[in-house]
Structure 1
Amino acid sequence: MWVLAALIAIAVGIFSTPDWRAAWLGVGLGGCLIAGFAVQLWSGRAAGFTERVAASVLGAALVMGVISLGFGLAALVPG
């Protein structure tokens, strides 16, 4: 799940304009949430479902945040 979040964040950072980057990251995080639900439902285990989904979405948010921080810092560098 976290690899998917990293790929989405990198794609958003490359292909979106800086004005729309935060909005597209929110859409990407929503996609990670849906993918997290799908993966956890597919596993078929009921015990700890909420905790596993929450951990995957929190991890995805952290990964996307770190990558977007990198793009934000790169935008500050003149060149």
Structure 2
Amino acid sequence: MLLVDPTTGHLTAASARVVETADDDVEQELFLQQLEIQTDPTDDLAAVRDQLRSARRRAERSWSRTAARSSV
């Protein structure tokens, strides 16, 4: 998941700040503009989809809070 500044549309190196407020299934990736979302092992594709969607929504909320703080 890439972190994009909502105002400029440019990638932004904010993964450390997002990870601070995100759940345990969201981690910092090698590049500071990127997050890694983890899922539980399963052979059920619907479960993987649901886990990814849920984790992405939580990461997006965390990113929204972080972006709002950085623009103040």
The structure where strand makes up a greater share of residues is 2
Q: TM-score when scaled to structure 1?
A: 0.44
The structure where helix makes up a greater share of residues is 1
Q: TM-score when scaled to structure 2?
A: 0.48
> Larger relative contact order (C-alpha < 8 A, sep ≥ 6)?
1
